Every structure is written in C-alpha cells, then in structure tokens.
C-alpha cells in the first residue's frame, strides 16, 4: 500500500543535501509518495540559523557535517566558499517543477549539489537556470514560472504548514502524525513505515 510522507526541507540546508539521496532511495524502496514543502528555518518554533549559534557549537556542527557527508558519500564544500547570495529563491524552481508534475527531486538534487559541492551562487536567477538546464531540465521555463501566483502561494503556504506542523529545522519528515527531524532519523522513519510506530 502506498504511504505518504511530508518532507520539509530547505535548499540552503547542508543536512537536507546530505540526506536527500538517502531519503529518495528509502521512499522508492518503501513505496512512499513524497509531498515536498520548502521553507527556511522556522524560528518561531525554536529553529536557529547556524550563523546565530555560538562558535563552539558551530565548530561541532561543521565536524558533524563532514562526518555525515563521508557516510553518505557527498562532497561538501564548507571551507573557502566565496560570498554567495541567499540560496532561498532556488526553492521556487523546485516548487514550480513539483506543481507542473516534473522531476522536482532531480531539480532539487542539481541545485543542492551546485550550492553545497560546487559553491555556485544559486541565489542568482541566471546561475540556477544554467544549472538546471545543464542537468537536463527546462531552466528557462522554471525561471519564468518562479514569479507565478501558484508558485508564490505554495512558497508562502509551505512556511505556514511547517510552522503549524511543529517543524523547526531541516530536513524534517512527517509520517502518520509523527515528526522525524534530521537525516540521521531516517532509520526510525523506515521502521515506522514498516509498522513500528513510536
């Protein structure tokens, strides 16, 4: 029987990038339909941007990211990154692809890889258009779609839904009313999918 998981993430989250392929594989293996919700850290629920954390915690965060990147087989460029603009607008490409029934997972993967492995400035419209085009998608069409009302409305609604669902950080997976925060909780999500609800 098909199961449905709500997936809350941000293109600008390195943790979402690290766990993205593992989650996609888990979903395919377990006949899961993914409903994506894109937003930024939900501060009103206790989420904290990494830039606002104490330096000692940021240092640990960096080490932990590197550990998990190796486990997941991801190249993660954290040091010597150029000054990049806010990657958040890239979310609109993913939303447009999802609403149009396209491969939003592929679009997300291309943008995340470009930002986190290549340090490309996906906050710039022409850069993200080129990235998704080179990945085999219609970048020009996605660029045009990002300003459309349905895309903008979903972007706004996703944040409200995240807030009301108790989401504070990324990635977060919600299945059968249970929240799993962090890609390191994917094994618990999979157990739940197999009937082991906490």
Neighbours of 110 (CB within 10 A): 24
Phi and psi at residue 137, to the nearest 5°: -105, 165
Mean pLDDT by 10 residues, the chain (198 residues): 93 95 97 96 78 82 94 92 90 98 98 96 96 97 97 97 95 97 97 93
Is the pTM value of this prediction over 0.85? yes
**Predicted local distance difference test score (pLDDT) of residue 41:** 84
**Predicted local distance difference test score (pLDDT) of residue 134:** 98
**Predicted local distance difference test score (pLDDT) of residue 91:** 96
**Predicted local distance difference test score (pLDDT) of residue 68:** 96
**Predicted local distance difference test score (pLDDT) of residue 46:** 72
Task: Write the DSSP string, 68-114.
Answer: HHHHHT-----SSPPP---SGGGHHHHHHHHHTTS-HHHHHHHHHHH
**Predicted local distance difference test score (pLDDT) of residue 61:** 86
Kindly state the helix (H) or strand (E) to which residue 194 belongs, with its residue range. Answer: none
């Amino acid at each position: 029987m098909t199961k449905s998981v709500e997936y809350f993430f941000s293109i600008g989250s390195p943790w979402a990038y690290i766990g993205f392929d593992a989650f996609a594989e888990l979903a395919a293996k377990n006949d899961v339909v993914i409903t994506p919700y894109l937003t930024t850290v939900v501060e009103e629920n206790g989420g904290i941007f990494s830039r606002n954390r104490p330096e000692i915690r940021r240092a640990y965060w960096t080490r932990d990211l590197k550990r998990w990147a190796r486990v997941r087989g991801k190249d993660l460029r954290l040091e010597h990154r150029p000054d990049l603009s806010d990657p958040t607008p890239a979310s609109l490409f993913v939303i447009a692809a999802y609403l149009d029934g396209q491969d939003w997972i592929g679009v997300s993967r291309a943008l995340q890889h470009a930002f986190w492995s290549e340090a490309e400035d996906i906050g710039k419209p022409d850069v993200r258009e080129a990235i998704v085009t080179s990945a085999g998608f219609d970048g020009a069409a996605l660029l045009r779609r990002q300003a459309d009302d349905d895309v903008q409305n979903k972007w706004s609604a996703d944040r409200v839904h995240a807030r009301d669902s108790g989401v504070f950080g990324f990635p977060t997976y919600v299945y059968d009313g249970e929240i799993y925060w962090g890609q390191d909780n994917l094994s618990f999500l999979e157990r739940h999918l197999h009937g082991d609800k906490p």
